[in-house]
Amino acid sequence: MLEFVGLGPGPFCGMLLADLGADVLRLDRADAARKGFDGPSRNPMNRGKRSAAVDLKSPDGVAAALRLAGEADALIEPFRPGVMERLGLGPDVCLERNPKLVYGRLTGWGQEGPLAKAAGHDIDYIALAGMLEPIGRAGQPPSIPLNLIGDFGGGGLLLAYGLVSALLSATRTGRGQVVDAAMIDGAAVLGATWFTMAANGGLGPRGTNLLDGGAPFYDVYETADAKFVAVGSIEPHFWAELLARLGLSEDPAFEKQYDRTAWPAMKARLAEVFATRDRDAWCELLEGTDSCFAPVLSPAEAPAHPHHQARGTFRDIDGLPEPAPAPRFGGTPAGVPARPLNPGPAEDGGDTDAALAAWGLAAGEIAALRESGAVV
């Protein structure tokens, strides 16, 4: 798999596939490699990949990239529409050279449409897709859900899904194809349930619904030590379990769980109760029960939790935690491939010669490319 380097969602897509055994070659920018590496010491999204720095402004560099596309099963390109065509690496050229190639295109707005060539970021894509407006508290502006919905969920993850599906088709038909993964499309797909609810009149204003913090039994509450806990006791029997453990079973304020007019009073009372103890004390009482409870952990705290420790959800690489590959496979678990899952080269183009050789370029070809400055 050939990954033209880009921002988060492209490398995330490559990481997902490398985690599951794909041989991913990251094509880094030659100018970045010449300047030297000044990024973080470890980026999990580079793990399990090789890196070659290729100058796509050089005809020889473009020719080298096309040669690699001829050897690839799949390709990831994260540029604005038309960029790869101007480079001479568009899908028509690459598929003519390699008819079985799956050509993955990752953009915000898609390959066509009035906004296709405009700049944008995650917040813009999810805003137009209708997925930003419903998120947040009542009476407050929409809350920004990091860049999880557009970039990573609707972009990188959906592209990985599309590539695997198209690769399955290619093994059966012998023909590759273009996969157009637009973050605006992916964000809309992730919101399928909410579009249905809105169309049926079942979606109220922001912050007043079942799953957006409007309900007292699906919300976060501050504890005595200024930390937070999460409650998700949607079903009546789980709600009853929570109330029993909080000593609120006989409180008449909680008799009608789904009476929306009573929700504000319920929330206020629960806030008072949770504010009486530290987060750890609530964990001791509620964690692991059917009250649907969890502490709200920071990214720095999460890897140390006993459940993650037991499952190996995170792994330690030289003292730095990172999420382990997911999902898990019973017959072909991640980590089995001959190339060990490692963080990957820290530097752009950190193993250019070895990577190009592994993809079939002869030593003389690599030497000539390096001499011309087409690779770094």
Residues catalogued as catalytic: 121, 151
| One-letter identity of residue 79 | F
Cα–Cα distance for residue pair 225/67, rounded to 1 Å: 59
Both tokens of 264, joined, read 């504000």
Both tokens of 274, joined, read 């949770």
Instruction: Return all residues near 337 (Cβ < 8 A) that are at least 6 apart.
Output: 21
What single string gives the DSSP state of each residue in 295-348? E---TTTGGGSHHHHHHT-EEEETTEEEEPP-S--SSS-TT-SSS------SST
What single string gives the DSSP state of each residue in 97-122? H-TT-EEEEEESS-SSSTTTTS---H
Burial of residue 187 (CB within 10 Å: 0-12, 13-18, 19+) is buried
Contact predicate 74/163, CB 8 Å? yes
Helical axes 158-173 vs 183-190, angle rounded to 10°: 100
The alpha-carbon radius of gyration of the chain (Å, integer) is 25
Minimal CA–CA distance to 6: which of 164, 247, 181? 181
Cα–Cα distance for residue pair 186/370, rounded to 1 Å: 40
Both tokens of 233, joined, read 């006791």
Q: Is the peptide bond before 327 cis (omega within 30 degrees of 0)?
A: yes
